[in-house]
Amino acid sequence: MLEGSNHVSRDLPCVCEQATKWIYYAFHVIEQSKGKRPLEDVADIGWRKSSKLLDAQEKEEAARCLHNLSLCQEEHSDKQHDSGTRSDSSSLIHQIGRDLSVNCLVRCSRSDYGSIASLNQSFRSLIQSGELYKLRRQMGIVEHWVYFSCNLLEWEAFDPIRRRWMHLPAMTSNNCFMCSDKESLAVGTELLVFGKEIESHVIYKYSIVTNSWSSGMKTNTPRCLFGSGSLGEIAIVAGGCDSRGNILSSAELYNSETGTWEALPSMHAPRKLCSGVFMDGKFYIIGGVGVGNSTVLTFGEVYDFKARSWTLVPDMFPARNRGAGANDAPAIAQAPPLLAVVKNELYAAYYAENEVWKYDKRRNLWITIGRLPEQATSMNGWGLAFRACGDQLIVIGGPRSLNGRFIEINSWEPTEGEPNWNLLGRKHSGSFVYNCAVMGC
């Protein structure tokens, strides 16, 4: 990944004095990534899956080790070149071989990939190929980053581990797309932004591998105001409106590995302004407005991949009538339900009362468990982001005041007690979140 690429200092000590240090550094990277296991375990841990993230200090140390290795490789290659021999660039760090080189890189932080790519052409080609992300997914190595837009056509990324903000390249589109309703989702190594241009719907895709935007992707049924969710390299979009404003019941599955859309069986009822989540290996669609309805739909639907069918879930989401003033805005003016799933538990941000709810699957009801962060303000739910980020819930928002031009990100890892929000970051920015997605890769 080329996000956050920065200059790498060359003022680091060379470790070429002894050939044995090549192996030491390679093993050191793996040990750091696996909790400093003994050296004799290296052969076993080569391809063992790990769901734990490396902390920032360990990953930075691993990146420094790789940097030292690369510098020495360059020095060694220069000597070989001077002597008329050729080195095998496909091995990356040829003294330890390509497989072990890749094994080290897979365990480095995504934040380091931009720096590593700047070391030489071999590293750059590997990272731009996307091979590392496929291996990370196979090995269960995942880092979650937050992508959001607080200014039209401008996107930012936030790394919650290093608490680092990054700007994405600007989107190139027309004014019609800029002002249209937009939905977004992150799937695999891609961020998809759905909108409408003058005569048709359009999808812009940002790739973390190339650090660039592209367009031209088409769904089977163009739509907006739909519900969506992603799981690994797949995503589902369901419901929404077509170009004529008709509310849809159709659904589609996107595979980011193949870049293809597959039509799924239609839901029992059409709906728009709904939300979607994956939970317990199934896809849920919740809330929204149906044909001829002036109130929020209270029944949900769940899609079973094995049965390839939808099932109704009565009374899955309550009408928003619990707080004073909650019904002041018509249903079509309210934001879709703010939902997030952490460890297969469903949570909701009830913005009318600034509450956090948890869904009791067994009893099919919602329980108030605490409060949202103080700065979690919205306009009927619009402008506030509530997402799952790995094992944490995150809330992104800012104050609604002329002097409140900042955005902050708060997180909480759900426990049995009330939410205890932790401020991850705050910066000067527009305080209205237009779109938000979390990418795990």
Residues 225, 202, 329, CA angle at the centre, nearest 5°? Answer: 20
CB 377 within 8 A of CB 399: yes
Q: Residue 156 is encoded by which pair of tokens?
A: 């930012």
CB 96 within 8 A of CB 18: no
Q: Which of 174, 178, 209, 177 is nearest to 191 (CA)?
A: 209
pTM greater than 0.95 (yes/no): no
Structure-token match 């800012």, residue found: 398
Residue 200 has a pLDDT of 87
Residue 320 has a pLDDT of 57
Pairing of strands 282-286, 338-342: unpaired
User: How confident is the prediction along the chain (441 residues), in pLDDT tens digits per residue?
Assistant: 455 444 333 333 333 333 334 434 444 444 444 444 333 333 333 333 333 444 555 555 555 655 555 555 555 445 444 444 444 445 577 777 888 888 888 999 988 888 888 888 888 888 889 999 999 999 999 999 999 999 888 999 999 999 999 999 999 887 888 888 899 999 999 999 999 988 889 999 999 999 999 998 999 999 999 999 999 999 999 999 998 999 999 999 999 999 999 999 999 999 999 999 999 999 999 999 999 877 889 999 999 999 999 999 999 998 654 444 444 678 888 999 999 999 999 999 999 899 999 999 999 999 999 999 988 888 899 999 999 999 999 999 988 766 658 899 999 999 888 999 999 999 988 889 999 999 999
